[in-house]
């Protein structure tokens, strides 16, 4: 019963801790209730054509090939003679959905939106499409419905191909783009004969959106340096040329069409995206047509990157924007209101319009962003006690800025403080000032004043967005620290002989009343602030947790007195070692090479203890395998350099090992070997051999563009299914069972491998075998009475409870090893970013048609296999060392909770996980 309560409480604490991360860091930045703002002057364009080349990198589009000819001749011509160009900087996560939302709705979605689903809108949002009179869109079913669904009324039309078309194995992915171009042409052909459609497309404020997925698909399948990726760019270039002349023809060259070409995100050299590497965040932006500036020749322009020279575009002014700035740019070109939640700043340099128009547009932009700030502030003010409310105070605006602002704009009557606070009167004053500048035709001053206002409002928006973060963070950390302390006390109390606890009834009751009073006080405090219900959970959870901790004050007393007796140097040494261990684990999430450091330390571990003298061969094996495994985290992330021959090598090595084992099994005459066991072993060897063959044949067949052979697909799926139950048939003796598990899991792992990672589980399980031996030796080292004989140990023994021994310090090391190996199993061959944006090549043996669910499941299984190996080894260690699994589990829990606590402080918003993952990539 007690155990059940403990498990439920533990689950609750962990769930709340996890959920709080989303509530504290990843809350939707959107507010509702703003009024639409649009520029009062007539717009330059009647219609806008938006081309989004999914996954197109800026440098691949702009650079010249070896002969000095451009990748996209038509677009190059536009940069040089017709329009404006630049680099659009995207935010992490560099995925299609957040990229398109930034482009079309003007705000940056956070990770939670991505996590909550791709096709559904987690929150309603406004977009340029929604503000348009009509929008017609062509492209992928993963992207288009999202904007049609968010739009009010029936004015956003979508034309998608089916999901099955997105086959990136055998078929030619450029067909995805030609499909779009052909359908646009047919659509306008039909519009000529259909009167209602004709009048619709001739309306003002019309948007045509062409989503071109071919480049992204080719990039994933063949990598951005491939012939296929570049050929696809050329195809898109030709397609755009056709569409532009078709449209000019259709509209009789009325000069009222604006064109924009950009992409949602880039792509790394190894064909992935999702993180923040420059190859992923730098996307092209080319605009031309009605209302867009002509090329501006410059003699000198400075950018920190060296791209201009590489691209030979030094002479044409490069105008960089943030991705969300494209939304107000589009809105201003066709004269629709800026999307309500847009945080984009209109890139004025792109506009070919009067100074008056630019000033008015900037004014509208300022009012539109200020509206969001006002609503956000009101919301926060309403839910906070007035004496606790700390209004926004700009940190970025320095004293000198404010002074120049006052002198320059003659705002002397206002005090500096109020501007930095962005108070209501101050907003009105600045807007009034800007308005009067426009009246006096001082457009330049109006623009600069509006820009200041925008940056202040954006800073204020993020201030109120993160307003509760500190307070919530403290409560959640309090609860979690309490929980971890409780688990430590529990270990000390029930699994060691350190204390003899007796309960004092009277003081316990007093404690209960005390804590209940604190709880009521907190609840009352939250109630008068009308906090959301989740806040009650975060703030009230620490109360019962700390009650449970304080209730055990006798154990705390005993522990404290014991620590005082302990030599100071030793306890400090122990603490430092523990902290170092946890830090190594945490850092390995960001820099995989930390694992190498840890593994080298592990290799040296038996040498500094007496284990070396005790068992030389085992120690040697352990040290060698540790060093071998230490090489894996230093290698590039999985999938970057496919090398099928390494997979073959891994397959052959396993076959060699298993035949060696088979020979041993047959030779041992004194032991009786059941025929069934031999059959299973032979079956598993056959399955390994088949998998090795299938990987080779599939990849060579795909290389020759012959698609995935059906027979290979059948073998792959059968192998996967059989690997799940075959090990259960094997004998329960230690090594036979462990070997059987390894053999079974290796065949699907081989099928899912494309390179060196195929060798990883092999080395890992080698190390696990020697770990089991090492732990046996370590145990003898401490206590000679316990001498388990590994050969006779059996998993199916139900261990007698009296056999369990008390915990000692070495068990903490044992548990730490387990956690470390689990982390190694995860990061040995990849990092967080590589999990997010994996290489589809690794699942080609199973399917080549895009199916997120099956692909995801297969990838997860590939990641889980090393975990299973480590967990089985730990189970073996636990049986060998005769420890209760409960106490070991509790120690592992404390270690992982300490790590989780550290991570809590490392979380940042805007897709930090991927950001961190990528920083690791760039460091490597």
Residue with tokens 């992928």: 140
Q: Site for Zn ion (CB under 5 A): how many residues?
A: 4
Q: By C-beta, is 173 or 319 nearer to Zn ion? A: 173
> What does the DSSP assignment read for 791-831?
GG-BTT----GGGPPPP-HHHHHHHHHHHHHHHHHHHSS--
Q: By C-beta, is 137 or 484 nearer to Zn ion? A: 137
Site stretch for Zn ion (CB under 5 A), options 113-121, 257-265, 299-307, 653-661: 257-265
Q: By C-beta, is 110 or 264 nearer to Zn ion? A: 264
Q: By C-beta, is 177 or 264 nearer to Zn ion? A: 264
The 3-state DSSP class for residue 86 equals: strand
CA distance 192 to 198: 6
Q: In angstroms, what is the minimal distance from the CB of 235 to Zn ion?
A: 17
Q: By C-beta, is 96 or 257 nearer to Zn ion? A: 96
Residue 300's CB is within 10 A of a number of other CB atoms, namely: 6
Q: By C-beta, is 100 or 374 nearer to Zn ion? A: 100
Q: How far, in Å, are 240, 524, 841 from residue 752 at the CA level? A: 38, 56, 9
Q: By C-beta, is 110 or 445 nearer to Zn ion? A: 110
DSSP state of 641: S
Cis ω for the linkage preceding 67 (within 30 of 0): no
Torsion of CA 16, 17, 19, 22, to 10 degrees: 150
CA distance 553 to 889: 24
CA distance 463 to 420: 13
Site stretch for Zn ion (CB under 5 A), options 115-123, 210-218, 304-312, 628-636: 210-218
In this structure, the strands spanning 156-160 and 282-289 are: unpaired
Site stretch for Zn ion (CB under 5 A), options 212-220, 502-510, 795-803, 824-832: 212-220
End-to-end Cα separation, the chain, in angstroms:
50
Q: H-helix or E-strand containing 88?
A: strand 84-89
In this structure, the strands spanning 321-322 and 156-160 are: unpaired
Using CB under 5 A, pick the residue from 37, 90, 96, 232 that binds Zn ion. 96
Residue closest to Zn ion (Cβ): 96
Residue 323 contacts Zn ion per CB under 5 A: no
Q: In angstroms, what is the minimal distance from the CB of 214 to Zn ion?
A: 11
Residue 216 contacts Zn ion per CB under 5 A: yes
CA distance 68 to 680: 62
Residue 264 contacts Zn ion per CB under 5 A: yes
Q: In angstroms, what is the minimal distance from the CB of 533 to Zn ion?
A: 37
Q: In angstroms, what is the minimal distance from the CB of 262 to Zn ion?
A: 12
Q: By C-beta, is 276 or 727 nearer to Zn ion? A: 276
* Cα atoms in the Cβ-side hemisphere of radius 13 Å centred on 647: 29
Q: By C-beta, is 54 or 459 nearer to Zn ion? A: 54
Distance of CA 165 to the CA centre of its chain: 27
Q: In angstroms, what is the minimal distance from the CB of 833 to Zn ion?
A: 14
Residue 54 contacts Zn ion per CB under 5 A: yes
Site stretch for Zn ion (CB under 5 A), options 53-61, 599-607, 710-718, 838-846: 53-61
Please give the residues from 522 up to 551 whose contact with Zn ion meets the rule CB under 5 A.
Answer: none
CA angle, 781 then 785 then 618, to 5°? 35
For helices 443-465 and 399-409, the axis angle rounded to 10 degrees is 150
Residue 393's CB is within 10 A of a number of other CB atoms, namely: 13
Q: In angstroms, what is the minimal distance from the CB of 219 to Zn ion?
A: 7
Site stretch for Zn ion (CB under 5 A), options 46-54, 204-212, 623-631, 716-724: 46-54
Q: By C-beta, is 135 or 218 nearer to Zn ion? A: 218
Tokens of 562: 């014991």
Q: By C-beta, is 272 or 753 nearer to Zn ion? A: 272
Site stretch for Zn ion (CB under 5 A), options 120-128, 201-209, 259-267, 722-730: 259-267
Please give the residues from 565 up to 604 whose contact with Zn ion meets the rule CB under 5 A.
Answer: none
Q: In angstroms, what is the minimal distance from the CB of 676 to Zn ion?
A: 48
CA distance 595 to 633: 7
CA distance 754 to 812: 37
List of residues 6+ apart from 549 with CB closer than 8 A: 482, 485, 486, 489
Residue 142 contacts Zn ion per CB under 5 A: no
CB of 774 closer than 8 Å to CB of 607: no
Q: By C-beta, is 225 or 296 nearer to Zn ion? A: 225
Tokens of 804: 């369990």
Q: In angstroms, what is the minimal distance from the CB of 55 to Zn ion?
A: 5
Please give the residues from 607 up to 636 whose contact with Zn ion meets the rule CB under 5 A.
Answer: none
In this structure, the strands spanning 134-139 and 156-160 are: parallel
Q: In angstroms, what is the minimal distance from the CB of 163 to Zn ion?
A: 14
Please give the residues from 418 up to 437 whose contact with Zn ion meets the rule CB under 5 A.
Answer: none
Q: By C-beta, is 212 or 411 nearer to Zn ion? A: 212
Q: In angstroms, what is the minimal distance from the CB of 218 to Zn ion?
A: 10
Residue 360 contacts Zn ion per CB under 5 A: no
Q: In angstroms, what is the minimal distance from the CB of 87 to Zn ion?
A: 17
Q: In angstroms, what is the minimal distance from the CB of 637 to Zn ion?
A: 17
CA dihedral for 297, 302, 305, 309, sign (positive or negative): positive
Site stretch for Zn ion (CB under 5 A), options 83-91, 214-222, 389-397, 757-765: 214-222
How many contiguous H segments (helices) and E segments (strands) does the chain have?
38, 8
Q: By C-beta, is 219 or 339 nearer to Zn ion? A: 219
Please give the residues from 830 up to 849 whose contact with Zn ion meets the rule CB under 5 A.
Answer: none
Site stretch for Zn ion (CB under 5 A), options 86-94, 216-224, 609-617, 800-808: 216-224
Q: In angstroms, what is the minimal distance from the CB of 692 to Zn ion?
A: 30
Which backbone phi and psi does 300 adopt, to 5 degrees?
A: -145, 135
Residues of this chain that bind Zn ion (CB under 5 A):
54, 96, 216, 264
């Amino acid at each position: 019963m007690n155990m059940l309560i403990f498990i439920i409480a533990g689950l609750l604490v962990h769930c709340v801790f996890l959920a709080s991360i989303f509530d504290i860091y990843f809350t939707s930045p959107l507010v509702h209730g703003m009024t639409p703002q649009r520029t009062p002057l007539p717009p330059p364009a009647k219609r806008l054509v938006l081309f989004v080349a999914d996954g197109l990198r800026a440098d691949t589009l702009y650079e010249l090939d070896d002969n000095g000819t451009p990748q996209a001749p038509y677009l190059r011509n536009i940069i040089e003679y017709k329009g404006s160009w630049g680099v659009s900087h995207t935010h992490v996560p560099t995925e299609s959905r957040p990229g398109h939302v930034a482009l079309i709705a003007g705000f940056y979605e956070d990770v939670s939106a991505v996590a909550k689903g791709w096709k559904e809108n987690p929150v309603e949002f406004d977009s340029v499409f929604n503000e348009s009179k009509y929008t017609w869109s062509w492209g992928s079913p993963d992207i288009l419905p999202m904007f049609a669904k968010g739009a009010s009324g029936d004015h956003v039309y979508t034309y998608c191909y089916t999901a099955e078309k997105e086959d990136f194995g055998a078929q030619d992915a450029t067909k995805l783009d030609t499909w779009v171009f052909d359908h646009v042409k047919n659509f306008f052909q039909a519009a000529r004969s259909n009167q209602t459609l004709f009048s619709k497309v001739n309306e003002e404020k019309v948007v045509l959106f062409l989503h071109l997925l071919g480049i992204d698909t080719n990039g994933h399948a063949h990598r951005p340096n491939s012939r296929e990726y570049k050929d696809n760019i050329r195809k898109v270039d030709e397609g755009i040329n056709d569409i532009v002349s078709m449209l000019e023809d259709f509209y009789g060259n009325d000069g009222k069409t604006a064109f924009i070409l950009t992409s949602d995100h880039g792509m790394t050299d190894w064909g992935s995206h999702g993180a923040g590497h420059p190859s992923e965040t730098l996307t092209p932006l080319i605009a031309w047509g009605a209302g867009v500036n002509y090329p501006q020749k410059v003699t000198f322009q400075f950018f920190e990157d060296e791209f201009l020279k590489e691209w030979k575009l030094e002479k044409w002014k490069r105008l960089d924007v943030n991705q969300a700035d494209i939304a107000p740019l589009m809105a201003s070109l066709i004269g629709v209101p800026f999307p309500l939640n847009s945080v984009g700043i209109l890139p004025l340099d792109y506009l070919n319009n009067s100074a008056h128009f630019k000033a008015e547009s900037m004014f509208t932009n300022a009012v539109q962003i200020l509206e969001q700030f006002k609503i956000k502030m009101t919301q926060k003010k309403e839910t906070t006690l007035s004496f606790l409310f700390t209004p926004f105070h700009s940190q970025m605006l320095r004293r000198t800025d404010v002074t120049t602002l006052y002198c320059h704009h003659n705002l002397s009557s206002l005090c500096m403080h109020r501007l930095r606070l962005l108070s209501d009167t101050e907003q009105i004053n600045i807007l009034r000032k800007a308005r009067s500048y426009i009246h006096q035709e001082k457009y330049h001053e109006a623009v600069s004043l509006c820009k200041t206002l925008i940056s202040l409002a954006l800073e204020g928006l993020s201030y109120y967005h993160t307003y509760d973060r500190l307070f919530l963070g403290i409560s959640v950390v309090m609860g979690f620290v309490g929980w971890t302390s409780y688990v430590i006390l529990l270990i000390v109390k029930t699994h060691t002989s350190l204390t003899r606890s007796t309960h004092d009834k009277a003081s316990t009751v007093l404690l209960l009343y005390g804590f209940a009073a604190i709880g009521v006080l907190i609840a009352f405090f939250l109630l008068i602030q009308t906090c959301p219900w989740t806040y009650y959970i975060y703030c009230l959870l620490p109360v019962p947790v700390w009650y449970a901790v304080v209730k055990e004050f006798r154990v705390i007393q005993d522990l404290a007195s014991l620590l005082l007796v302990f030599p100071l140097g030793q306890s400090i040494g122990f603490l430092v070692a523990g902290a170092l261990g946890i830090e190594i684990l945490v850092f390995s999430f960001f820099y995989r090479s930390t694992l190498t450091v840890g593994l080298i330390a592990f290799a040296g571990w038996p040498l500094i203890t007496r284990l070396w003298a005790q068992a030389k061969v085992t120690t040697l094996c352990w040290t060698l395998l540790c060093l071998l495994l230490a090489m894996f985290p230093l290698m590039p992330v999985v999938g970057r350099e496919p090398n099928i021959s390494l997979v073959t090598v891994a397959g052959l090595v396993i076959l060699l090992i298993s035949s060696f084992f088979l020979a041993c099994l047959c030779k041992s005459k004194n032991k009786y070997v059941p025929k069934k066991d031999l059959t299973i072993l032979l079956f598993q060897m056959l399955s390994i051999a088949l998998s090795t063959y299938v990987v080779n044949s599939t990849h060579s067949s795909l290389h020759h563009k012959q698609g995935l052979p059906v027979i290979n697909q059948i073998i792959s799926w059968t192998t996967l299914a059989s690997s799940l139950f075959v090990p259960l048939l094997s004998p329960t003796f230690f090594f036979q069972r462990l070997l059987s598990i390894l053999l079974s899991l290796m065949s699907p792992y081989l099928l899912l491998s494309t390179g060196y990672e195929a060798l990883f589980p092999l080395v890992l399980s080698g190390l696990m075998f020697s770990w089991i031996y090492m732990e046996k030796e370590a145990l003898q080292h401490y206590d000679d009475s316990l001498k388990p004989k590994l050969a006779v140990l059996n998993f199916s023994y139900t261990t007698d409870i009296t056999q369990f021994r008390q915990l000692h310090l070495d068990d903490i090391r044992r548990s730490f090893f387990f956690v470390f190996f689990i982390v190694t199993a995860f990061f040995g061959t990849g990092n967080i970013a590589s999990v997010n944006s994996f290489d589809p090549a690794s699942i080609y043996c199973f399917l080549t048609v895009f199916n997120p669910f099956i692909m995801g499941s297969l990838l997860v299984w590939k990641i889980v296999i090393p975990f299973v190996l480590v967990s089985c080894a730990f189970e073996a260690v636990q049986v060998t060392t005769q420890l209760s699994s409960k106490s070991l589990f509790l120690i592992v829990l404390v270690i992982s909770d300490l790590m989780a606590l550290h991570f809590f402080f490392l979380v940042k918003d805007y897709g930090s996980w991927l950001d961190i993952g990528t920083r690791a990539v760039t460091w490597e």
